[in-house]
Amino acid sequence: MAKALKIDLEKCVGCRTCEMVCSAKHAGIINPFQSRIKVIREQEWEGVPMTCAQCEDPQCGAVCPVKAISRDEVLGRVVIDYDRCIGCRMCVTACPFGLMNFDSVAKRVTKCDLCDGDPECAKFCFYKTLTYVDVSELGDGKRRTAAELLSRLVRKTA
């Protein structure tokens, strides 16, 4: 079963370590601008890591005029074939979450590739906001927390 990057938003401290690690790994330089993952901070004390959702039916792939974007079912990810890519940035426009990036330094579109099955960001993430889990387990933690809450409420009112 393929694995996925799980993001527990409530655990994020907004330290942006993931951005630095990601750029080090992919661009060979510590430069958050070139990171595939971005931490959005709406409030100064919040962090929301945003990275490719690895869609089952990716819009980026659908609009690609040269069919450079496809799904890799083994690793459960959406991949770019740079031999085909012409750099038209249609995928950047199409992605509903803004998670396809255009790296103006490398002059090409970039996205999370799950580090070929060993994501660096998850290894560094201090408080386990980012974990690499089996794709079927993505909802497990939340489901359990919700169940506990529900159970407490039911018992309170019973």
For another protein, the binding residues (CB under 8 A) are 10-17, 20-21, 23-25, 27-34, 40-42, 44-46, 104-105, 120, 123-124, 126-127
Closest approach of Cβ 19 to another protein, in Å?
A: 9
- Which residues lie below 8 Å from residue 157, measured CB to CB, with a gap of 6+? none
Closest approach of Cβ 96 to another protein, in Å?
A: 20
Closest approach of Cβ 28 to another protein, in Å?
A: 6
CB of 124 or CB of 132, closer to another protein: 124
The distance of Cα 23 from the centroid of its chain, to the nearest Å, equals 14
CB of 81 or CB of 118, closer to another protein: 118
As given in the structure block, the two tokens for residue 133 are 């889990």
Residues 38-57: b if buried by 16+ CB within 10 A, e if exposed: bbeeeeeeebebebbbbbee
3-state secondary structure of 134: strand
Closest approach of Cβ 94 to another protein, in Å?
A: 23
The distance of Cα 80 from the centroid of its chain, to the nearest Å, equals 15
User: Which DSSP letter does residue 87 get?
Assistant: -
Looking up tokens 């459960």 gives 76
Closest approach of Cβ 125 to another protein, in Å?
A: 10
Pairing of strands 38-40, 3-7: unpaired
CA 75 to CA 1: how far, in whole Å? Answer: 8
CB of 25 or CB of 71, closer to another protein: 25
CB of 86 or CB of 126, closer to another protein: 126
CB of 41 or CB of 143, closer to another protein: 41
